[in-house]
Chains A and B, each alone.
Chain A
Amino acid sequence: MMSLAHFLMKFRERIRARYEEYLVITIETLASAIIGFSIGALVLYILGFNPAKIYFILFSKGLSNPNYLLSKSTPIMLTGLAFAIPMLAGVFNIGGEGQLYIGALISLIVVTSTHNPALGILAGMVAGAALGTFKAVLKVYRGVNEVIAAIMLNWVMYFLILYLLTEKLYNPQIPHESIPVPEDARLGKIPTPIGDIRLIFFIAVIASLIIYYILYYTNIGYMLRVAGLSPKTAKYAGFNPNLAIIYSMALGGAMAGLGGSLLLIGYVYSIDTTMSTLFGLGFTGIGVALLGRNNPIGIIFSAIFFSMLIIGGEMIELLAGAPPELADVLTGVIVIALALPYMYRMLISYMRIRRLIKK
C-alpha cells in the first residue's frame, strides 16, 4: 500500500514537474510556426499572390498523399537525428550531408553485390558512423573544428560519389543514373488504414525511438547529455567528455548513413548523376532537429512537417506559379522564430541587469 501511494505521488510529481516545461515548449513551437506563416503570408502578398490560396494548396497538397509525405520525411528524420545527437553532447554536426552520401554509396555497392537489403543497410550505417567518428577523432585529438571538417568532408563525399557514379557505377542503359538496387533487394510497402506506406518510414520511426531510449534510459545517453551540458561536471563524475563526443558523432553518423541507405534501398533505388536525389537532405535535417528541439520524438513530427512543406512547396510552383523557394523561406522564418523565445529571455535578463545597475 505504502509503495503504491508513494509511486502515485511520484508519478504525479513527475507530470507536474514536466507539465509546465512541455506546455511552454508546445506554445513556443506553435507561436514560432504562426510567426513563420504570417511572415510568409506577408511575403506572398507583396509578391502579388493570395496567401490564403497558396496556403490552402500547401497544406492540402502537402498532406494529400500519406505515403509520399512519410517517405519524404524518412531521410530528413534521420539526418535530423544526426544533428540532434551530437548537439546534445555539445558538438555541432553539420556533416549529416556527407554522412548520408556515404551511407547511400556504400549500401548501393553492398546491396548490388550481396542482394541482401539488411546487409546493405548495416553497411550504410557503419559507413556513416565511421565518417562521424573520423570527425570526432579529428576534433578530440587534433583540435580540428568539427564544422570546418564537416564542410570540407561534405564536398569530398559529394565529388567522390559524383566521380564513382559517372565513371564506375553508372547504369549502362540509363547513363545518367547509377546501377539500380536489384529488384529482389528492394524494400516495399506495407498496408495500413491510411493506405500502403513504405517500410522505410517505420524503420526510421523505430530508429528514432531507439535513439530516444539510448539518450534517456541508458548510461551512455546519460553521460552524453551530461557532457554536452557541462563537460566539467562530466569529468567530475568520472565520465570522459571526449568519449561522449566520439560516441555521439558515431551514433549521429550512423543515423545519417541509415537515412542514405533507406532512401536508396526503399525508395529511389538509384542515384542520379546530378545527385539531386541526395543533395540538401543533410542540411534540411538541421532544421528538422531545431524544430524538433533535438528530441528524437519531436524530430519524428518535425520531419513530417518539413516533408509537408517540401511537397506543398513543389505544388505551389506547379499550380499557382509561386516561387518554389517559398517553402525554403517558410522553413527559414520558422527556424528563426523558434530562436525568438531565447532572444526574448536574453533581452529581459539584460534589461533587468541594466535597471539594477542604474539604481
Chain B
Amino acid sequence: MSEEKRRAVEMLNISKIYPDGVVALRDVNLTVYEGEIHGLLGENGAGKTTLMRILYGEIKPTKGKIRLFGRKVSFHGPWDAIRHGIGMVYQHFTLVPTFTVLENLHLSFTSVEKKMSESMIRRNAEKLMKEIGFEVPLDAIVEDLPIGVQQRAEILKILLRKAKILILDEPTSVLTPIETRELFKTLKKLKEKGITIIFITHKLREVKEITDRVTVLRKGRLVGTVETANVSEIDLARMMVGREVFLKISKKPAKVGRKVLETVNLWVKDDRGLDAVRGVSLDLYEGEILGIAGVQGNGQKELVEAIAGIRPIIKGRIIVDNVDVTNKSTVERYRLGLAYVPDSRLVGLVFDMSLVENTTLTNLHKVLTKTKRILWDKASEIAVKVVKELDIIAPSLGAPVKYLSGGNQQKVMVGREIVREPKIFIVAEPTHGLDVGATEFIRKTLISLRDKDKAILLVSTDLDEIMQLSDRIAVMYEGKIVAIGKAEEFSVERLGLLMGGVKA
C-alpha cells in the first residue's frame, strides 16, 4: 500500500448493552477508509444494525469512541450525524408513503436546512441524478413506486444532504435480482465520486462482488477485517459462522415412519407482496426432525405460516396426513394434528392474558360446550397439565403471562401444543433469546417428541440448533430449498456457504 489512505470512520472499543440487558456489541473496532465500499458481514443478531445505529447517532454506545476523518465526535441524535455527512438507509424505509418523492425530499431538509424551497430541491435533485446517472420520478407518490425505486429515492435524499458516508442496512434483502444489479451499479458510481459506503449484508456473494474490504461480526464480537480480494467465500463463511463447541445432546437414531406432511410446489408472498416462497416441495415423516436452515428473511417464516394456514398461498398444495388441507382453515388444520409454535412470543401469546387464557388459545375446541360456553375449570385443568409437564414456573395460573420469564413463556407455547397430542410439530426459532438452561430443556423436549414418533419441522437461524437436533437438513435461500439431505452430509462450512447463496 503506497499511498496513505484517510480514515473516514473509526469506531473504537464500542460496546452496547440494551436496556433489557442484551449485550449486542462487545469491544468492537471498525475502521473504514475514505472512498471504499466496506462490507459488514454477520449472521442475524450479530450486531450489525446496532453498530451502524450507533454510528448514525440514533443510539448511544455503552462504551467506546467514534472518530470521523480523524476528529472525535459524539452525537446526540441522527441530526448530528447528518450534519457530519453521514446518511443511513434502513431495512425499512423512512419515506412518507402518501407524499411525492419531492415532498419527502423537502421534508427531510426541514431538520437540517429550513430555508430550502421545493424548487431549489428539485433543481439540485435533477442535477445530482444526472451526475450519478440514475432516475427517480420526483412527482410520483412514493407508495406507487416499486421498492427498488423507493430505495433510490431514499439514497437520493441522503446524497442531497451532501452525505460523505452512506450506510446501507441489508439493502438487497428487499430487492429483486435485477434491482440488486441496478443498486450495485449506483454504488460503484458513488464510489467513483468519492463517497464512502458501508454495506451491511449476510450474503457472501454480494460481499465478494461489491466490497473492497469487509468486517465480520459474530455474536456481538469482532472476528476481523480483511481485504475482500484476499479471501474466498469459504473463508468468509467460516468467519461468519465460526466454530464453537456444541452443547451435546444424546440422540437415538431416528425411527422414521410414514409421511405425514407434504408441500407440493408451494408459492407464498410476504407482507410486501413479493414472492417469499418460490416453489418449495418438502416431505416430513413421523419420528424425524427436519431442520430448515437459512438466514432470516429467506422465506422460512412465510413457508411455515402457509403450512399453518395463517398466510394465503399463491400456488401449490399442502397435504397433512393424506388430507389435502390447501383450502382448509387454520383451526381445521390444527384439529387434523398439526401444531405450530411461532418464532415470536409476541405472536404466540397474549401477554396481558393469564396463563389459563393463553393455554386455551389452541385448545379452545376442547373446553367449549355445545352452546359455545367456555368451561374455565376444564381450561384450568389443561393449564395445570401444561405447567406440570414442562415444569413451568409461574406466579399463578391467573397471572398475566407477561410476568413469566422468556423461557417459561416459550414452554407455555410448546406445552399447550404437546398436550393436544398432535402428529406434526412445526417449530420456529424455539430457543431464540433463551438462556442455556431453557434452551437445553426445549431442545430435549423436541427430541423426546421425535422419539415418540412425532414429526417435527424445525425452522432455525441458529446453526448449532440445526446441527444438534436435525435428522435431515434443508437449506432455504431466497425462497427456495437449495439443498436437502441427511444431517451428516452437512458441515458447518457447507451450511454457511449454502445459507450465503453459494452452491456447495
Residue positions of A touching B, CB distance < 8 A:
10, 13-14, 16-18, 217-220, 222, 225-226, 229-230, 232-233, 235-238, 352-353, 356-357, 359
Contact = CB atoms under 8 A, between A and B. Distances in A.
17 contacts: A10-B377, A13-B396, A13-B397, A14-B398, A17-B354, A17-B398, A218-B373, A226-B361, A229-B353, A233-B348, A235-B310, A236-B342, A237-B364, A238-B330, A352-B19, A353-B19, A359-B62
B257 interface: no
A229 B348 CA distance: 12
Given A218-B374, A222-B357, A229 B352 contact: yes
Contact of B368 (A17, A219, A226, A353): A219
Contacts of B362: 237
Interface of B: 17, 19, 60, 62, 308-310, 329-331, 334, 340, 342, 346-354, 357, 360-362, 364, 368, 372-374, 376-377, 380, 384, 395-399
B298 to A, nearest CB: 21
Given A17-B395, A226-B353, A219 B364 contact: yes
Contacts of B346: 230, 232-233
B347 A233 contact: yes
Contacts of A359: 62
Contacts of B340: 236
Given A229-B351, A236-B340, 15 more contacts: A10-B377, A14-B398, A17-B395, A17-B397, A218-B373, A220-B372, A222-B360, A229-B350, A229-B353, A233-B347, A235-B310, A236-B330, A237-B361, A238-B334, A356-B19
B361 A233 contact: yes
Contacts of A236: 308, 310, 330, 340, 342, 347-348, 361
Nearest to B353: A229
Nearest to A9: B384
B326 to A, nearest CB: 16
A222 B398 contact: no
Contacts of A356: 17, 19
A219 B377 CA distance: 15
A17 B19 contact: no
Contacts of B60: 357
A146 B347 CA distance: 25
Which residue of B329, B361, B384 has the most chain A CB atoms within 10 A of its CB atom?
A: B361
B331 A233 contact: no
Contacts of A232: 346-347
A247 to B, nearest CB: 13
A14 B397 contact: yes
A232 B308 CA distance: 14
Contacts of B351: 229-230
A17 to B, nearest CB: 3
A244 to B, nearest CB: 13
A218 B60 CA distance: 49
A219 to B, nearest CB: 5
B380 A233 contact: no
A218 B376 CA distance: 10
Contacts of B62: 357, 359
Contacts of A222: 357, 360, 364, 374
B350 A230 contact: yes
A10 B354 CA distance: 14
Nearest to B356: A14
A212 to B, nearest CB: 13
A14 B353 CA distance: 14
Nearest to B333: A238
B349 A233 contact: yes
A90 to B, nearest CB: 12
Nearest to B59: A357
Contacts of B361: 226, 233, 236-237
Contacts of B17: 356
Nearest to A213: B373
Nearest to B329: A238
A226 B377 CA distance: 19
A233 B361 CA distance: 9
A277 B17 CA distance: 60
Which residue of A14, A220, A222, A238 has the most chain B CB atoms within 10 A of its CB atom?
A: A238
A238 B348 contact: no
Contacts of A229: 350-353
A339 to B, nearest CB: 17
A226 B309 contact: no
Contacts of B396: 13-14, 16-17
B489 to A, nearest CB: 34
Which residue of A232, A236, A357, A359 has the most chain B CB atoms within 10 A of its CB atom?
A: A236
Nearest to A19: B398
B374 A13 contact: no
A14 B357 CA distance: 13
A357 B334 CA distance: 44
Contacts of B377: 10
Contacts of B357: 222
Contacts of B373: 217-218
Contacts of A233: 346-350, 361
Nearest to A10: B380
Nearest to B355: A17
Nearest to A16: B396
B19 A357 contact: yes
Instruction: In the A-B complex, list the 5 residue pairs whose CB atoms are closest, starting with the nearest.
Output: A17-B398, A238-B330, A238-B331, A17-B396, A353-B19
A333 B348 CA distance: 38
Given A236-B342, A238-B309, A217 B374 contact: yes
A238 B310 CA distance: 7
A237 B376 CA distance: 18
Which residue of A16, A237, A357 has the most chain B CB atoms within 10 A of its CB atom?
A: A237
Nearest to A233: B350
Contacts of A18: 398
A218 B372 contact: yes
A233 B342 CA distance: 10
B458 to A, nearest CB: 18
Contacts of A218: 372-374
Contacts of B352: 229
B347 to A, nearest CB: 5
A31 B334 CA distance: 47
A138 B376 CA distance: 35
A220 B357 CA distance: 14
A225 B353 CA distance: 9
A213 to B, nearest CB: 9
A75 to B, nearest CB: 30
Contacts of A17: 354, 395-399
A217 B369 CA distance: 11
B467 to A, nearest CB: 28
Nearest to B348: A236
A320 B361 CA distance: 57
Contacts of A237: 330, 361-362, 364
A217 B364 CA distance: 12
B350 A226 contact: yes
Contacts of B364: 219, 222, 237
Contacts of B309: 238
A301 B478 CA distance: 58
A16 B396 CA distance: 8
Nearest to A225: B353
A71 to B, nearest CB: 33
Contacts of A219: 364, 368, 372, 374
Nearest to A12: B396
Contacts of B342: 236
A189 B351 CA distance: 46
B309 to A, nearest CB: 7
Contacts of B384: 10
B270 to A, nearest CB: 15
